[in-house]
């Protein structure tokens, strides 16, 4: 299984970016897909996840109302629409697939397929 992210880049505060994550190979054993980010010196944190079956979503408080996760099961692709970007959103963003418990939907250790990451830099 390979996950490939795209769509990162440099954006001004208040701007928008859409990240994509294309999966190749079978990820049928993973019922959830998620987005994570890691800034230098920080631990990897869960940003958002989506259930592949019912489309239910979960967001970190820091991105609620600004980010939106979606998926296209036919294309085996997930997306992260990021609006109203802030300086503190700057990080390397990873997509992942796994089987998180309901109590740990955005816990990185619950995910076992990972992409290489795409850099998002918010700067004026």
Block means of pLDDT (10 residues each) for the chain, 124 residues, are 94 98 80 94 96 90 97 90 98 94 89 96 97
> Residue 27's pLDDT is what?
66
> Residue 15's pLDDT is what?
98
Q: CA 63, CA 65: separation in Å to the nearest integer?
A: 6
Structure token pair of residue 92: 């390397």
Q: Give me the sheet containing 67-72, strands edge to edge.
A: 2-6, 17-24, 77-82, 67-72
> Residue 28's pLDDT is what?
67
């Amino acid at each position: 299984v390979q996950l490939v992210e795209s769509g990162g880049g440099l954006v001004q505060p208040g701007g928008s970016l859409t990240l994509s994550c294309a999966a190749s190979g079978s990820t049928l054993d993973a019922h959830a897909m998620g987005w994570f980010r890691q800034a230098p010196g920080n631990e990897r944190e869960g940003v958002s996840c989506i259930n592949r079956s019912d489309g239910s979503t979960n967001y970190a408080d820091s991105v609620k109302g600004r980010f939106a996760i979606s998926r296209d099961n036919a294309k085996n692709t997930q997306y992260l629409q990021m609006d109203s970007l802030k300086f503190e959103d700057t990080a390397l963003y990873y997509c992942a697939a796994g089987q998180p418990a309901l109590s740990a939907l955005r816990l990185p250790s619950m995910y076992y397929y990972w992409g290489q990451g795409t850099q998002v830099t918010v700067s004026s």
